Amino acid sequence: MFLLRAAACTVLLLMTALVSPALAEDVTLTSRDGSVKVAGNLLGYDGEFYRVDTEYGVLTLDGSGVICDGPGCPDLTAFVAELSLSGAPTMGAILLPALLETFAARNGFAARRIVQSDDRFIYELSERASGAPAARFAFFLSSTDEGFADLISDEADIALSLREVSPDEAALARTGDLGDLTAPGRSRIVALDAMVPLVADSNSVTTLRMSDLAAVFAGDITTWEGLGSVAEPIVLHLRDDNSGLVQAFRRRVMEEYDITALAPGIIRHASNAALADAVAVDPFALGIGSFSEIGNAVPLTISGPCSLSADATVTNIKSEDYPLTAPMFVYLPNRRLPRIARDFLRYIASPAAQPVIRRAGFVDQFPAAMPFQEQGQRFANAIESAGVDTDLVELQRMVRVLSGHSRLTVTFRFEGGSSELDAQSRSNVALLAEALERGVFDDHELVFVGFSDGDGPGAINRRLSQTRARAVREAVRTAARTVDPTRLTLRTEAFGEAMPMACDEVPWGRRVNRRVEVWLK
């Protein structure tokens, strides 16, 4: 795609001799001095730029440099931005509307919700002073699958998703005009949630191994006796198969243990709230629900084969110390959105939006600090796990380095079998860089602390964790383009396998342990 600005642009000059008015179909765009004309089908106008399908390909033209003529020309004096969002009801029912209403109030718009059906509604934003409509955000709430299908078929501008794009969806998108949906900038994390095993308050089970969770939903464990409780059948509850939560559960839990088929007879639910309500009243029920919609059910602690475990808490979800954290994505098209849409996307990632996300019941991404004094259990884990490769001298060094610091909830983890940051960590790079640019950490020291799993020699693991810490620091420093380096100190430390967060005996535990933490002094 070419971006052409004003009549002096070289590409437009080349077209002067090639395009004649006779070829015009829907629109003809003429430079202000009349020397250049481009004709074709108008694909869209975002209030600033025209997108025109010409015989030379799809061109994007700056509206300030051209005059539009033809039946397809928009009314520039009454332009209303149109945006369609399709996908996960978990995001579209409460979270996005709450953010949109707050965005409108902050920017001088009045927001009016127009309900069309149970799963379709429109938010119309109007200028508060004049009452003139400025934008319409049309929501279609179906499923993550449908959101991607609508985005790929150009029936939606934004897909709302509870999971990352699948390889099949990404391949299908590349065959059309969407390009690479896995590329940087094509998705953003709006908020965080988590998958949680839920039981009734009367259930005596409080902790569940990840392997047992997979075995239960595979039908290999069928009674609570197999989980150390009573000899009663386990009644399983799950969302519908087209739910992004179920798809993430299959990938993150079932496939982790090479399980492809779910047990027969699972009770299915159309919403997270309905699932939580059903589990809460049945002492023998076990369901996979959402942290944001627990209701009266009780979440179980996740553990591995060793003594380490993790609860679904706001802090653990932000830091990805909880192994089933679930980012909530928006996926974007391979073209410019209208300015008001771009402003809205910037707003949802801003500090001002984070309290709105919390009030809506989800986990925000704003960095929180955990003082050194509150890290007792983590240091106890380090002492308990110490061995030949992590001796007392190394543990004492770690305490000396981190004493007087607070750990931020911004943690960086990596894709399985890769040195690439995972989706939440890529988002954390942008969030931390923005905080640096706003001066949040001016006159402070940030220490990027690398840790590894326990697989391999300790010396090599310390070098790997140092390499990762430096790589993350440089990624943040590069993203924070406007930061004055004299305003703060960014340094690295590495302690290898010294402080495990999960069990190294299982792949998901090793992924949790391979991380870069950020400590603030």
Q: Is 387 within 8 Å of 341 (Cβ atoms)?
A: no
User: Which of these, 173, 190, 191, 175, lies nearest to 333 by C-alpha position?
Assistant: 173
- For residue 25, name the pLDDT band (cuts at 50, 70, 90): low
Beta-carbon contacts of 421 under 8 Å, excluding residues fewer than 6 positions away, are 412, 413, 414, 415, 429, 472, 475
pLDDT of 16 over the 50 cut: no
Indicate whether 348 pLDDT > 60.
yes
- The helix (run of H) or strand (run of E) holding residue 12 is helix 10-16
Lowest mean pLDDT among 215-224, 263-272, 284-293, 378-387: 378-387
On average, the pLDDT of the chain sits at 88
pLDDT of the residue at 416:
64
Q: Residue 6: is its pLDDT beyond 80?
A: no
Mean pLDDT value across residues 414-422: 76
pLDDT of residue 143: 93
| pLDDT tens, residue by residue, 80-129 | 999 999 999 999 999 999 999 999 999 999 999 999 999 999 999 999 98
Residue-wise pLDDT for 425-478, tens only, equals 888 898 898 888 888 888 899 999 999 888 888 888 899 999 999 999 999 999
**Residue 17 confidence (pLDDT) above 50:** no
**Lowest mean pLDDT segment, chosen from 131-135, 195-199, 221-225:** 131-135
State mean pLDDT over 346-352: 91
Q: Angle of helix 339-348 relative to helix 96-106, nearest 10 degrees?
A: 110
Average pLDDT estimate for 308-334: 93
Q: What is the pLDDT of residues 221-239, one digit of tens each?
A: 999 999 999 999 999 999 9
Residue tagged 């076990």 (tokens): 286
pLDDT of 2 reads 33
Angle at 372 between CA 468 and CA 428, to 5 degrees: 40
DSSP string, 224-249: GGGGTS-S-B-EEEEE-TTSHHHHHH
Domains, the chain, ordered by start: 2-78 (2.30.30), 81-186+332-359 (3.40.190.10), 193-319 (3.40.190.10), 367-520 (3.30.1330.60)
Structure tokens at 125: 């934003």
- Which percentage of the chain shows pLDDT scores above 70? 94
pLDDT at 14 > cutoff 50: no
Buried b (16+ CB within 10 A) or exposed e, 305-333: ebebbbbbebebbbbbbbbbbbbbbbbbb
Judged against a pLDDT cut of 90, whether residue 65 lies above it is answered with no
SS3 430: helix
Nearest CA among 382, 370, 515 for reference residue 448: 515
- Nearest Cα neighbor of 205 from 295, 285, 308, 312 is 285
Q: Quick one: which of 429, 520, 446, 434 has its CA closest to 483?
A: 434
Which range of 169-178, 196-205, 343-352 scores highest in mean pLDDT? It is 196-205
* Of residues 412, 446, 440, the one with CA closest to residue 428: 412
pTM (predicted TM-score) = 0.83
58-67, 141-150, 192-201, 269-278 — which is least confidently predicted? 58-67
At residue 469, the pLDDT reads: 94
- Let me know how long the chain is: 521
Question: 238 pairs with which residues across the strands?
Answer: 268
Residue of 294 and 60 predicted with greater confidence: 294
3-state secondary structure of 120: strand
413, 322 contact by CB (below 8 A): no
pLDDT range class, residue 10, cuts 50, 70, 90? very low
List residues bridging with 223 in a β-sheet. 233
Measured in degrees and rounded to the nearest 5, phi and psi for residue 391 equal -95, 180
- Contact between 319 and 424 under an 8 Å Cβ cutoff? The reply is no
Please check the confidence at residue 194 and state whether its pLDDT lies above 60: yes
CA distance 195 to 217: 14
The residue with tokens 């440089």 is 474
Query: Per-residue pLDDT for 417 more than 80?
Result: no
CA 414 to chain centre: 15
pLDDT of residue 168: 94
Per residue in 154-191, pLDDT (tens digit) is: 999 999 999 999 999 999 999 988 999 998 889 999 99
